[in-house]
Structures are given as C-alpha cells and as structure tokens.
C-alpha cells in the first residue's frame, strides 16, 4: 500500500509497505527496521515475532523517543511486557498495531514533529 506522507524537512517518512517490504524515504527495505523520526533508518535483526528479545527493544529505547509504534507484522500481536521493560523503565509510551497501521500512525505523529520511533516487523511474504 502506498502512503502519502506530509513531510517536515529532515523527518523520516514511510512511503509504502507490502508483503515483505517497507519503503522509507523512497528506499525499499526487505527486512525489519527501526525508523526514528530523524536520523538513520536502522536494520532491526528480527525475522519473526517469536524471535523478539529484550535486546531488540533496548535498541529502540536507546534512541530516546517519547513514543514507540511497534508494527507486529500482518496482524496485531502483543510482545510480552518483560520485553518492553527498557521502554517502560524510561517512561516511553508504546503502542502495538499491525505493521500497516503502525506505518500510517507513525507518519501522522512524525509529521506533527513528535519524537516517535517506528519499530516494524517486515516478514517475508507477509
């Protein structure tokens, strides 16, 4: 699905997503990614929801966002609260939704100038 993002200068935006891929700033990624509101798009070494670890969310928390939008793949799945501890301990809000909804929500919040991070599972064929 293509998305039309109102972009602020220097703010990352998701331009589209589909089975096994996500387009951020017109670059297509075929792996899970962490998209901070500004700065470099980072690979997120998660190949399946079941493979999520505490270290994955520590990577996201280290970016210092006020809010994290977690895209859990083609359907909504909630990570164990213990995995979210690095975010909870820092007072960072976390919203979980399917990756498509997460992309759309991230774009709205980033366009508002919020310090938001999209942590999106991009799963092969999903």
Give 90-125 pLDDT, tens digit per residue.
999 999 999 999 999 999 999 999 999 999 999 987
The pTM for the full model equals 0.92
What pLDDT was estimated at residue 4? 52
Residue 8 clears pLDDT 90, i.e. is over it: no
* Residue 2 near residue 10 (C-beta atoms within 8 A): no
Q: Are strands 42-43 and 33-36 parallel, antiparallel or unpaired?
A: antiparallel
Helix, strand, coil share (%) of the chain residues, nearest 5? 25, 25, 50
What pLDDT was estimated at residue 10? 86
**pLDDT per residue over 31-82, tens digit each?**
999 999 999 999 999 999 999 999 999 999 999 999 999 999 999 999 999 9
Q: Are strands 67-71 and 42-43 parallel, antiparallel or unpaired?
A: unpaired
What pLDDT was estimated at residue 1? 47
């Amino acid at each position: 699905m293509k998305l039309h993002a109102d972009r602020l200068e220097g703010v990352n935006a998701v331009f589209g997503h589909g089975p096994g891929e996500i387009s951020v700033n017109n670059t297509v990624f075929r792996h899970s990614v962490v998209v901070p509101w500004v700065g470099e798009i980072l690979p997120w070494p998660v190949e399946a929801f079941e493979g999520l670890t505490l270290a994955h969310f520590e990577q996201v928390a280290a970016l210092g966002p006020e809010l994290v939008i977690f895209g859990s793949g083609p359907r909504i799945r909630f990570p164990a609260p213990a995995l979210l501890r690095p975010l909870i301990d820092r007072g960072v809000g976390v919203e979980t939704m399917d990756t498509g909804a997460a992309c759309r929500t991230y774009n709205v919040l980033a366009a508002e100038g919020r310090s938001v991070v999209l942590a999106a599972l991009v799963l092969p064929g999903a």
